[in-house]
Amino acid sequence: MNILGIETSCDETAAAVVRDGREVLSNVVYTQIPLHQPYGGVVPEIASRAHVEKISEVVRAALAGFAAVAPEGRVDAVAVTYGPGLSPALIVGLNAAKGLALSLDVPLIGVNHIEAHLHTPFLGDRTAGSIESRMPALGLAISGGHTAWFDMPEYGRYETIGQTLDDAAGEAFDKAAKLLGLGYPGGPLIDKIAKKYFTALASAEGARQSNLIPFPKGSPREGVSALAGLPADLCVSFSGLKTALLRYVQKTPDLDVPRVVASYQEAIVQAVTDRTRRALERRDYRSIVLGGGVSLNSRLRTALAELAQKAGVELLTAEPKFCGDNAAMIAGLAYYRRNLVGDDAMALDVAPSLEIG
């Protein structure tokens, strides 16, 4: 079964065709990053307009790629992100998907963007074998908009067990980079600078720690209402970290930017790794399913790989091209969500605050 996926929830206009949920036949992503760069963040109106301008070209390119590898193939369904995301951006993709589903006379499948990030390790050749054999899994979706841990007893069932109470990890990276005048998006820039800094230091863990500025490690206070019933030891809060960075910058005359950046990244990596370790202690999992743009962070990958090895679970990560926003994850997940197709699919509306589960 070939599914055409469409994704426009934030600042990437994307379309892809995926066969039977895992084999990516074409994957086209147009990124708007240069358009948002001058503002240091995504501007919804600019995003929406750019999606309108690019969507047909991107879909056409994805269909051409599909035709090139599967000349006899036909599209059996159209899948689209309907939330969470920016409302004016989501609307563009949803309307395009409705038009395509009508004209191709195939079903329309609405997909949750976060859930789709958690499907990315199963795309392509990276993770061979059955998905079910990896369950129960601990899901970690970590991106510019979300940071959350999920209990996945079986594929397609999710219970949120921890999350950020304020900024997502990617947002914390982006805001720090903005404050330090490094550019946008901050995550990849900070990753690179920190890597250089650590390479220059002695590689021993002791040397790494002792040279770092002790920024707060994202622990929320017990009993704060934002926890909404979730255990504090599985949640993170990055607002204190951001304030600590600002104070440090204000009171330090000769700023050693690489050291500041490496220390800030380490605080985020340790916060995320620590919560993941606690989640692994609560239940016997077979794997960690990792998805989202921040999962590209090289230091986070190393830390989670070490943790997984110690805990005896498999760390499932996506190929780099599937970590950031893309439509292959939408088309892939939709194969497992065909039960959501109803007669009223054409009435589907965007859900900017859509939750998972």
Give the footprint of ligand KG4 on this chain (CB under 6 A): 10, 143-145, 170, 173-174, 185-188, 191, 292-294, 296-297, 324-325
CB of 332 to ligand KG4, least distance (A): 15
Instruction: Give the number of other Cβ atoms within 10 Å of residue 95's Cβ.
Output: 16
Partner that binds at residue 121, options Zn ion, ligand KG4, none, CB closer than 5 to 8 Å by kind: none
| The only residue of 8, 32, 143, 265 in contact with Zn ion, by rule CB under 5 A | 143
CB of 267 to ligand KG4, least distance (A): 13
Rounded Cα–Cα distance for residues 101 and 109 (Å): 9
CB of 345 to Zn ion, least distance (A): 23
Widest distance between CA atoms in the chain: 65
Nearer to Zn ion, 263 or 326 (CB): 326
Partner that binds at residue 173, options Zn ion, ligand KG4, none, CB closer than 5 to 8 Å by kind: ligand KG4
| 218: its two tokens | 């994202």
Q: Which pairing describes strands 108-112 and 159-163: parallel, antiparallel, or unpaired?
A: unpaired
Please provide the distance, in angstroms rounded to a whole number, between the alpha carbons at the two ends of the chain. Answer: 25
CB of 349 to ligand KG4, least distance (A): 20
CB of 7 to ligand KG4, least distance (A): 10
CB of 42 to Zn ion, least distance (A): 11
Instruction: Give the number of other Cβ atoms within 10 Å of residue 295's Cβ.
Output: 25
DSSP string, 87-128: HHHHHHHHHHHHHHHHHHT--EEEEEHHHHHTTGGGSTTSS-
Partner that binds at residue 65, options ligand KG4, Zn ion, none, CB closer than 5 to 8 Å by kind: none
Among 304, 336, 286, 260, residue whose Cα is nearest residue 142: 304
Rounded Cα–Cα distance for residues 328 and 258 (Å): 35
Nearer to Zn ion, 58 or 212 (CB): 58
Nearer to ligand KG4, 2 or 27 (CB): 27
- What three-state secondary structure class fits 168? coil
CB 299 within 8 A of CB 162: no
Nearer to ligand KG4, 101 or 290 (CB): 290
Rounded Cα–Cα distance for residues 320 and 327 (Å): 14
Element (H, E) at 334: helix 328-335
Partner that binds at residue 93, options Zn ion, ligand KG4, none, CB closer than 5 to 8 Å by kind: none
Nearer to Zn ion, 208 or 301 (CB): 301
The residues facing 13 across adjacent strands are 30
Q: Which of these segments, 17-25, 77-85, 244-252, 322-330, binds Zn ion (CB under 5 A)?
A: 322-330
CB 185 within 8 A of CB 174: yes
Partner that binds at residue 218, options Zn ion, ligand KG4, none, CB closer than 5 to 8 Å by kind: none
| The only residue of 89, 101, 325, 350 in contact with Zn ion, by rule CB under 5 A | 325
- What three-state secondary structure class fits 121? helix
Nearer to ligand KG4, 196 or 282 (CB): 196
CB of 25 to ligand KG4, least distance (A): 22
CB of 114 to ligand KG4, least distance (A): 8
Partner that binds at residue 188, options ligand KG4, Zn ion, none, CB closer than 5 to 8 Å by kind: ligand KG4
Go through the chain and tell me how many residues it has.
357
Instruction: Give the number of other Cβ atoms within 10 Å of residue 283's Cβ.
Output: 11
Rounded Cα–Cα distance for residues 148 and 214 (Å): 24
Rounded Cα–Cα distance for residues 39 and 325 (Å): 20
Among 192, 170, 197, 185, residue whose Cα is nearest residue 291: 170
CB of 173 to ligand KG4, least distance (A): 5
Partner that binds at residue 170, options ligand KG4, Zn ion, none, CB closer than 5 to 8 Å by kind: ligand KG4
Nearer to Zn ion, 266 or 325 (CB): 325
147 binds Zn ion (CB under 5 A): no
Give the binding site for Zn ion (CB under 5 A).
Answer: 143, 325
